[in-house]
Homo-oligomer: A and B are copies of this chain.
């Protein structure tokens, strides 16, 4: 079977930067009872996610997936019989309000590990959790039923998987079945086969899975938290071969999954992903600006924050998009954050940060329109010795090319020589691995203001993010629907 080459140049700017949904960046919050209409051009087929972007509200459950079909007459680059979507998540018993309160408390209180991992909204938890009524744990409770993925023997399924975890990096697998990865974040990738898929919060993947095993039994579907030592029970679902009963448990023990602290396979998956040869967005061969974003975890007095280049990010009360378009420059800090910290050459990423203090700021990076920008995500040791975490970074308003990963500290003069400038994938969310770096390239061609942040809910809440502005002068008249908060009240003229 021969597949077509798909048109693969980056889409033009979409001209509606106010439809991004990021409170404080592109719009005021949507108040209880109010209605906000997002109107935007859907410019590429693929698998996407939507979710609340206000405080920690996403993890209260305001999220879902979006499946964009190919235009009529176009065919996919791969064949399958059925198309299914699932969302993987984690789940806390404490409300997101209480979690936010803990993170803002002095002394700081961490939110801890989630109580459950959810597969398409279904999960289970350790019944010995303190404070839990026993009846919430009962197997007869329909809320505790497992996710069931029913398959017809011999058929091939496209399974679109999105992760919207608050915290957990996940390994996902279907017992006894390989998966062929064919799509990532809405882009076709060169197909590659995995036994288990690592997926980080904010990412989507399509995998093909064929029901080619013994059809007289069912199999386990497992999601497992990796990257942190944790007691969270694995998420369990059933891969149900029709016509077996969906509630029939598989005869085997569920696969235990990879070890939580085995970084190698996760890095290998990142390195394995390439653009599909029939679907390549040519990457600019040079860049105009390099920004090195060093993450550190900082503690001052009894408060703990994340910082990028020693600045812990806070959102302004007047959204940047409005402030910049209407020159309300008093509404946020005008000192730009640094492209690289002073003393980066001497910074030892394997030690806890030498400085405990940090600055909180709502300043942003202003990018020259249509220039090419390289972002280096530089991971480092956390505040306690011996720990460095995976962070999935998500960029709004753009896809970026992932031009390189590396272990240790980024070498400004040497590492760019090894960038993949031939067939790098495009994504909108990418992990930076423990003690490693990830290099991204994008063209600042979408007029607007765009958040770029760790997609772990509590990390962004603790300041792990930055914001880019580009081409604000090209942004058209802003709709009044995005206004109403902060200094935008000056525009209210009844």
By a beta-carbon cutoff of 8 Å, the part of chain A in contact with chain B is 28-29, 31-34, 55, 95, 97-98, 130-133, 317, 322, 326, 477-478, 480-481, 483-486, 488-494
Closest partner residue, chain B, to A93 (CB atom): B131
Q: Give the chain B neighbours of A493 by CB distance below 8 A.
A: 480, 491-493
Closest partner residue, chain B, to A325 (CB atom): B494
Q: Bound complex: CA of A107 vs CA of B154, how far in Å?
A: 44
Closest partner residue, chain B, to A94 (CB atom): B95
Q: Distance in Å from the Cβ of A99 to the closest Cβ of chain B? A: 11
Select A489's contact among B132, B478, B483, beta carbons within 8 Å.
B483
What are some 6 contacts across the A-B interface (CB < 8 A)?
Answer: A28-B31, A130-B131, A480-B493, A488-B494, A491-B493, A491-B494
**Chain A interface main SS type:** loop
Q: Give the chain B neighbours of A481 by CB distance below 8 A.
A: 489
Contact B486 A33 (CB under 8 A): yes
Q: Distance in Å from the Cβ of A347 to the closest Cβ of chain B? A: 33
With contacts A33-B317, A95-B95, A484-B488 known, what are 4 further pairs, Cβ within 8 A? A29-B32, A480-B489, A480-B492, A483-B489
Q: Bound complex: CA of A2 vs CA of B389, how far in Å?
A: 76
Closest 10 CB pairs of A and B: A131-B131, A484-B484, A480-B492, A33-B317, A491-B494, A491-B492, A31-B485, A483-B492, A97-B97, A493-B493
Contact B95 A484 (CB under 8 A): no
Contact B130 A486 (CB under 8 A): no
| Residue of A28, A29, A97, A485 with most chain B CB atoms under a 10 A cut-off | A485
Select A494's contact among B28, B133, B478, B494, beta carbons within 8 Å.
B478
Q: Give the chain B neighbours of A489 by CB distance below 8 A.
A: 480-481, 483-484
For this chain, the copies found in one complex come to 2
Q: Bound complex: CA of A483 vs CA of B484, how far in Å?
A: 7
Q: Bound complex: CA of A493 vs CA of B437, how far in Å?
A: 45
Contact A486 B95 (CB under 8 A): no
Q: Distance in Å from the Cβ of A477 to the closest Cβ of chain B? A: 8
Q: Give the chain B neighbours of A485 by CB distance below 8 A.
A: 31, 34, 484
Select A317's contact among B31, B55, B98, beta carbons within 8 Å.
B31
* Known interface pairs A478-B494, A480-B494, A494-B480; A486-B31 also in contact (CB < 8 Å): yes
Q: Give the chain B neighbours of A326 by CB distance below 8 A.
A: 494
Closest partner residue, chain B, to A326 (CB atom): B494
Q: Give the chain B neighbours of A477 by CB distance below 8 A.
A: 494
Closest partner residue, chain B, to A480 (CB atom): B492
Select A28's contact among B480, B484, B486, beta carbons within 8 Å.
B484
Q: Give the chain B neighbours of A32 by CB distance below 8 A.
A: 29, 55, 317
Closest partner residue, chain B, to A129 (CB atom): B131
Q: Distance in Å from the Cβ of A229 to the closest Cβ of chain B? A: 23
Q: Give the chain B neighbours of A491 by CB distance below 8 A.
A: 492-494
Q: Give the chain B neighbours of A133 by CB distance below 8 A.
A: 130
Q: Distance in Å from the Cβ of A7 to the closest Cβ of chain B? A: 37
Contact B34 A486 (CB under 8 A): yes
Closest partner residue, chain B, to A322 (CB atom): B494
Closest partner residue, chain B, to A101 (CB atom): B95
Q: Distance in Å from the Cβ of A483 to the closest Cβ of chain B? A: 5
Q: Give the chain B neighbours of A484 by CB distance below 8 A.
A: 28, 483-485, 488-489, 492
Q: Bound complex: CA of A494 vs CA of B95, how far in Å?
A: 37
Q: Distance in Å from the Cβ of A137 to the closest Cβ of chain B? A: 14
Q: Give the chain B neighbours of A130 by CB distance below 8 A.
A: 131, 133
| Residue of A32, A317, A326 with most chain B CB atoms under a 10 A cut-off | A32
Contact B34 A31 (CB under 8 A): no
Q: Bound complex: CA of A197 vs CA of B89, how far in Å?
A: 53
Q: Give the chain B neighbours of A490 by CB distance below 8 A.
A: 480
Q: Bound complex: CA of A430 vs CA of B95, how far in Å?
A: 36
Closest partner residue, chain B, to A30 (CB atom): B485
Q: Give the chain B neighbours of A95 by CB distance below 8 A.
A: 95, 97-98
Closest partner residue, chain B, to A481 (CB atom): B489
Closest partner residue, chain B, to A29 (CB atom): B31
Q: Give the chain B neighbours of A34 by CB distance below 8 A.
A: 317, 485-486
